[in-house]
Amino acid sequence: MPSASTERERWNQKYGESPGAWLEPDPFLARAFSEYIQPLFPHGGSALDLAGGAGRHSIWLAKQGWDVTLIDLSETGVELARQNAGPLAAHIHFVIDDLTQFRASQTQFDLVMGFFYLERKIFPEIVKALRPGGLLLYKTYTTDQLKLPGGPKDASHLLAPGELLRLVGGMRVLHDREVVAEKATAEIVATKHE
Ligand SMILES: C[S@@+](CC[C@H](N)C(=O)[O-])C[C@H]1O[C@@H](n2cnc3c(N)ncnc32)[C@H](O)[C@@H]1O
């Protein structure tokens, strides 16, 4: 497992080299928004974007009227997120922090989302960070990515088949899908019991 400072350096370098590569939100967010988020929270709410990087998902959600907290280890990524957000930055709270040590605070969120980041041990804290009735949206690579070009090749960053479902055990699962296409991913929408 690489250390937090190695990961920070690696991501600072990536964001520094290709600042424009992380602008389009993953389509899962817009789909989940119309199917699950909007019906449950028609007037918006508060969201936490775990490892939000250059901000593509936080910014998209802020555009829909949500207040978002973005946490990421990479200062370069977070600075890009701030720039990319423009005036929407007023609705995003930017936090530079190491999520391997993530602890839920007293502030709970209506929505927690995680895209393409995996730290298995913090799932209990992620659930604690959600308000009862709140939604968790999660999507990241699976081990099938090893057969495809690109993406992480380190098993610590790849979900085993069915693993995401196990990680959210105790939540009510509304949507669960594993796909091998251009990327191999697992995605989930789950709600915390009231
Ligand atoms: C593949 S990128 C995904 C970024 C964003 N979620 C997205 O989909 O655009 C992985 C992100 O995880 C962040 N990251 C890696 N290790 C981290 C850690 N220990 N704590 C917080 N963020 C971390 C990186 O800085 C990077 O922004």
Structural domain span for residue 130? 4-15+25-191
Residue 20 maps to a domain: no
Q: Give Cα 172 distance to the centre of its chain.
A: 19
Rounded to an integer, what distance in angstroms lies between the CA atom of residue 145 and that of residue 121?
22
**Residue 49 within any structural domain of the chain:** yes
Q: Is the CB of 141 under 6 A from ligand 1?
A: no
DSSP state of 142: B
Task: Evaluate whether residue 52 is within a structural domain.
Answer: yes
Give 2's pLDDT tier (boundaries 50, 70, 90).
Answer: confident
The pLDDT of residue 58 is 98
Is 146 in a helix, a strand, or coil?
helix
Closest Cα to atom 8 of ligand 1 = 115
Mean pLDDT, to the nearest integer, of 17-31?
Answer: 94
User: Ligand 1 in contact with 98 (CB < 6 A)?
Assistant: yes
Measured by CA distance, the residue closest to atom 13 of ligand 1 is 51
C-alpha 191 to ligand 1 mean position (Å): 23
Decide whether any atom of ligand 1 lies within 6 Å of the 75 Cβ: no
Query: Do 155 and 162 touch, CB atoms closer than 8 A?
Result: no
Q: Which of 6, 61, 73 to mutate to test the pocket of ligand 1 (most atoms within 8 A of CB)?
A: 73
In a domain, 94, yes or no: yes
- Section 101-123 average pLDDT: 97
Distance, first Cα to last Cα, the chain? 35
The token pair at 123 is 């799932």
CATH number at residue 98: 3.40.50.150
Which residue's CA lies nearest to atom 11 of ligand 1?
51
Confidence of residue 185 (pLDDT cuts 50, 70, 90): very high
- Number of structural domains the chain divides into: 1
Label the pairing between strands 172-180 and 184-191.
antiparallel
pLDDT digit string, tens, across residues 39-71: 999 999 999 999 999 999 999 999 999 999 999
Among protein residues, the one whose CA lies closest to atom 10 of ligand 1: 117
> Which candidate, 92, 177, 172, places its Cα nearest to that of 187?
177
* Distant-in-sequence contacts of 79-83, Cβ < 8 A, 24+ apart: 80/15, 80/19, 80/22, 80/53, 80/54, 80/55, 81/52, 81/53, 81/54, 81/55, 82/55
Please report where in the chains the tokens 């699962």 appear, as a residue. 173
- High-pLDDT (> 90) share of the chain, %: 93
- Whether 74 is covered by a domain: the verdict is yes
Nearest to 103 by CA among 129, 78, 68: 129
Q: Of 117, 122, 140, 187, which is best to mutate to test ligand 1, by the most ligand atoms within 8 angstroms of its C-beta? A: 117
Residue 148: per-residue pLDDT = 96
